[in-house]
Amino acid sequence: MIHDRYSLAFKLYPYERNADQDSATPVRHPVVIVGGGPIGVATALDLGLQGIPVVVLDDHEGIGMGSRAICFAKRTLEIADRYGCGKPMLDKGIVWNLGKVFHDDRKVFEFNLLPEEGHKYPAFINLQQPFFEKFIVDRVRKAQAAGAPIQLRGKNRVDQVTVRDDHVVLDISTPEGTYTIEADWLIGCDGASSPLRGMMGLDFEGRVFQDSFLIADIKMLNDSFPTERWFWFEPYFKSGASTLLHRQPDDVWRVDFQIGWDVDRKEEMKEENIRRRLDAMLGPEVSYEMVWSSIYTFQCKRMERFRHGRVLFAGDAAHQVSPFGARGANSGIQDVDNLGWKLGMVLKGQAPERLLDTYDEERTFGADENILNSTRATDFITPKSKISHVFRNAVLDLAERHAFARPLVNSGRLSVPCTYDGMSLNGEDALPGPARTRPGSPCPDAPLGDGFLLSQLGNDFVILTINTDAPDTLQEDGVTARHVAVRSEDDTSGALAERYLGDASRAVYLIRPDQHVAARWDRYDETAIRAAMRTACAKD
Amino acid sequence: MADLITQPNLPDPDGFYADLIKTYEALDEDAVSGFSARLILLLTNHIGDHDVISQAVEEAVRTNLKAEK
Ligand SMILES: Cc1cc2nc3c(=O)[nH]c(=O)nc-3n(C[C@H](O)[C@H](O)[C@H](O)COP(=O)(O)OP(=O)(O)OC[C@H]3O[C@@H](n4cnc5c(N)ncnc54)[C@H](O)[C@@H]3O)c2cc1C
């Protein structure tokens, strides 16, 4: 039997018998994904849109109840946009820019994120994770209808794997018994406690934080709170050592209480006890309904390597961070963005297998950056020693009076994508251009005519020329780069010039399928571009 | 890279020292560490040079001479 470990918000892939269960010999698939969370399904979407057959196995029949993630960053939305599901997220999500920081009963300061103008997507939206996941699954359904070879198999639990040199054998349980399939490539997206990692005996090293947090999602029945992020250090209402209040769609608010390590979980989870904390904080005149609550503890850990031969790990299975800074799902989606085109090219014979080693190279680097940021935030929010507590409160005291101390206040640094500086796929930087678009950088968006630049990039290699020309396509060793030409006339806001030209009057960029800059020049040089394409495909 | 100044740099060493001790002596034990933290944060921001601050931190760690014995 397969028991549900959690209840569902949306039952989207009910169990159905599949042909593999009736096959006399195990059927071989090019790609199998373990885990149908946001990362597994997004990976399937990326590959399916490339025409690569992919099977997703999940031990539930849909998306779990309860919003773990609520903050989705611009880069995540841009990647979702490339997959065709960014808009419903933006439409449903809540955009916020104002934050307030409190200490005890005093407001320390408030800030406006002041997002940079000229991007199709905002810096952040707040959206319940189940909706985020549902929009990806909805997109998968549309892609399937248009012929994308994606299968989502609910109530298919992976129980055992046998890893061979050139394939993996999977034993799967279903409500109708067990069956076996084979995969040329297996992707582990089975979450933070990854059974796959366990089956393969792989490490997951890092730091466990001795603290727990009580989350309560509540629906406000009178609208007394603005769309702002409020963070309390040592709040006067004593509902937790720190407390976060954040708005989600549908009048739902996230409240996050830091309640310490030695807590009686069962006792704390009783509705009357949660309400006691909430009432102390909100005051008697606010009425609300409880939507969902949970207690979580967290860790900052990662696998030493994300590639193990024919098995690749992505999302929480590969790395786990504290929630401060919203880097979990956001970084997992960047894994997908990075892995999708690389595995696609290897499967299509356009690039050597070692291109997949650069997935490990780039994304372990990304994971380290995320772990560093979220560990620092956690240490500020929950000081680990007496002296650390003294300094934390000194910063808060000073921040109330002086601007200089405000950048030291760390209640989570919001997720931004990393720049793959110095990594092996980067080509030359032969443009006196802005630092933010140096090789390895994710391309920043910019308005162009009545659209946006990023809409024209991605999915394949692009040669982006600004104020200069190039042939429509360039083929190098089986890989085609598509030419996108833009000119300063289309750049009425000046954002393109500021982000891509700097002091240069023209530029040529080679851009990877994941919208990261591979190399750039001040003129079109075919030989140089061919070399950079080879480098970006791990051929040289 | 700027170097940490380790040559005499205060015009009135005795006056500075007396003021510092006077301020500290007015604090009860519990308040000392918070005060020191605020003072360090204000001064380090004023210096504004990570290298110089790191040199000062290293030097302060290193010159705990009693612990060396
Ligand atoms: C309180 C909290 C707040 C958070 N806030 C944010 C935020 O604001 N922003 C953000 O980006 N991230 C946030 N996160 C992190 C985010 O929730 C995770 O990073 C994200 O869910 C990871 O997705 P995943 O697909 O890797 O794993 P999961 O969502 O855990 O999915 C794993 C899937 O694998 C399935 N599975 C497991 N074992 C098997 C098996 N043997 N066979 C088949 N299927 C299996 C599971 O049922 C599940 O469906 C938060 C997390 C917490 C706890």
Reported as a single tens digit per residue, the pLDDT across A439-453 is 999 999 999 999 999
Tell how far the Cα of A301 is from the centroid of ligand 1, in angstroms: 14
Six-digit token string for A184: 């040329």
CB A214 within 8 A of CB A256: yes
Is pLDDT at A402 greater than 80 in this prediction?
Answer: yes
pLDDT in tens, A61-91: 999 987 789 999 999 999 999 999 999 999 9
Ligand 1 pocket, mutate which of A129, A173, A217, A381 (most atoms under 8 A from CB): A129
What is the interface pTM, i.e. ipTM, of the complex?
A: 0.95
**CB of A458 within 8 A of CB of A50?**
no
Is residue A190 lining ligand 1, measured as CB closer than 6 Å?
A: yes
C-alpha A131/C-alpha A126 separation (Å) is 11
Condensed to tens digits (0 to 9), the pLDDT of residues A112-134 reads 988 899 999 999 999 999 999 99
Asked whether the beta carbons of residue B34 and residue A393 sit closer than 8 angstroms, the reply is yes
Give residues with Cβ within 8 angstroms of B52, minimum separation 6: B2, B3, B4
Statement: residue A223 has pLDDT above 80: no
Quote the mean pLDDT of chain A: 95
Q: Model confidence over A227-268: pLDDT tens digits?
A: 889 999 999 999 999 999 999 999 999 999 999 998 999 999
Per-residue pLDDT, averaged over A278-298, amounts to: 90
> Which residue in A173, A150, A179, A175 sits closest to A27, CA to CA?
A179
- Chain A residues touching B34 at Cβ < 8 A: 390, 393-394, 397
Measured in residues, chain A has a length of 540
Which residues in chain B have Cβ-Cβ distances shorter than 8 Å to A408? Answer: 41
Residue A325 pLDDT: 82
Task: Read off the pLDDT of residues A412-429 as tens digits, 9 standing for 90 and up.
Answer: 888 899 999 999 999 999
Residue A239 CA to ligand 1 centre (angstroms): 27
* Residue A412 CB–ligand 1 contact under 6 Å: no
- Asked whether the beta carbons of residue A394 and residue B45 sit closer than 8 angstroms, the reply is no
Residue of B nearest to A402 (CA): B42
Q: State if residue A61 touches ligand 1 by the CB under 6 angstroms criterion.
A: no
A429-536: which CATH topology? Glutaredoxin (3.40.30)
Q: Which of A283, A12, A318, A335 is nearest to A152 (CA)?
A: A12
Query: Residue A224's pLDDT is what?
Result: 67
**Amino acid sitting at position A409:** V
Asked whether the beta carbons of residue B38 and residue A408 sit closer than 8 angstroms, the reply is no
User: How far is C-alpha A17 from the chain's CA centre?
Assistant: 32
- Whether residue A328 has its Cβ less than 6 Å from ligand 1: yes
- Residues of chain B found within 8 Å of residue A397, distances taken between Cβ atoms: 34, 38
> Phi, psi at residue A139, to the nearest 5°?
-65, -40
Q: How high is the pLDDT of residue A222?
A: 76
Say if ligand 1 is within 6 A of residue A320 CB: no
Kindly list the residues from chain A whose CB atom is less than 8 angstroms away from the CB atom of residue B37: 390-391, 393-394
**Structural domain spans, chain A:** 19-92+119-206+300-362, 213-297, 370-408, 429-536
The pTM (predicted TM-score) of the whole model is 0.95
How much is the average pLDDT of A209-225? 86
pLDDT band, very low/low/confident/very high, at A539 (cuts 50, 70, 90): very high
What distance lies between CA A37 and its chain's CA centroid? 12
Does A394 score more than 80 pLDDT? yes
Count of Cβ atoms closer than 10 Å to residue A282 Cβ: 21
Number of other residues whose CB lies within 10 A of the CB of residue B5: 10
- Say how far residue A489 (Cα) sits from the centre of its chain: 35
Reference A333, options A88, A76, A155; nearest CA is: A76
Residue B69, pLDDT above cutoff 70: no
Please determine whether the domains at A19-92+119-206+300-362 and A213-297 fall in the same fold group of CATH.
Answer: no
Q: CB under 8 Å to A2, separation ≥6 — which residues?
A: A59, A155, A157, A173, A174, A175
The CATH number fitting domain A19-92+119-206+300-362, selected from 3.90.1150.10, 3.50.50.60, 3.40.50.300, 3.10.310.70? 3.50.50.60
Residues of B contacting chain A (CB within 8 angstroms): 33-34, 37-38, 41-42, 45
The verdict on domain A213-297 having CATH code 3.30.365.10 is no
pLDDT tens digits, residue range B9-41?
999 999 999 999 999 999 999 999 999 999 999
Interface contact A391, partner B, CB < 8 A: yes
Measure the CA–CA gap between A369 and A386, rounded to whole angstroms: 27
